[in-house]
């Protein structure tokens, strides 16, 4: 089963598998839940759908944000798993969290920021070879 999923994801979204923290099952979850990145006009709309769009949560002088509580929990959970994996074994992510901690930000807030960055990255990766991927999917399904 896992081998079949890996083969399908490699056909549909090979760019995801080449990124750090993306396993075949997580990539398949993202591809399945997002359905088509083209349906989101911007990465911000995908972030809103994935529950990672920052919403102001403080008075005018303080600059705090909270996450959106609406949207697709499955995409958010997949993004969280990727961030946790990257925090364990991806040096740039570890440095980012460490730097944000030294700036006085909580780990939770650093993860929130990383999720937003990751949504932008996923949106771009899924949109990149859109035409060839759509043609391939049509041939694959028939």
Domain assignment of residue 38, yes or no = yes
Q: What is the pLDDT of residues 113-125, one digit of tens each?
A: 999 999 999 999 9
At residue 137, φ and ψ (nearest 5 deg) are -65, -40
What the block records as the tokens of 16 is 């995801």
Written as six digits, the tokens of 26 are: 């997580």
Phi, psi of 23 (to 5 degrees): -90, 170
Q: Is residue 142 part of a domain?
A: no
41 in a domain, yes or no? yes
> Based on the structure, what is the number of domains in the chain?
1
Stretch among 61-75, 87-101, 110-124 having the lowest mean pLDDT: 61-75
Q: Is residue 141 part of a domain?
A: no
Q: What percent of the chain has pLDDT over 70?
A: 82
In a domain, 62, yes or no: yes
Q: Residue 17: enclosing H or E segment and its boundaries?
A: helix 14-17
Q: Give the C-alpha separation, 53 to 81, whole Å.
A: 17
Residue 86 contacts residue 23 (beta carbons within 8 Å): no
Query: Considering the entire predicted model, what is its pTM?
Result: 0.79
Domain that holds residue 109: 2-136
């Amino acid at each position: 089963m896992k081998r079949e999923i890996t083969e399908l994801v490699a056909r549909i979204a090979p760019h995801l598998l080449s990124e750090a923290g993306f396993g075949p099952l997580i990539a398949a979850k993202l591809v399945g839940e997002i359905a088509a990145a083209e349906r989101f006009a911007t990465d911000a709309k995908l972030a809103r759908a994935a529950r990672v769009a920052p919403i102001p949560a403080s008075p005018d002088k303080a600059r705090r944000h909270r996450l959106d509580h609406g949207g697709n929990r499955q995409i958010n959970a997949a993004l969280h798993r990727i961030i946790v994996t990257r925090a364990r074994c991806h040096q740039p992510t570890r440095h980012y969290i460490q730097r944000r901690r030294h700036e006085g930000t909580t780990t939770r807030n650093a993860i929130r920021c990383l999720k937003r960055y990751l949504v932008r990255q996923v949106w771009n990766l899924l949109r990149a070879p859109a035409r060839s991927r759509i043609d391939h999917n049509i041939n694959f399904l028939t």
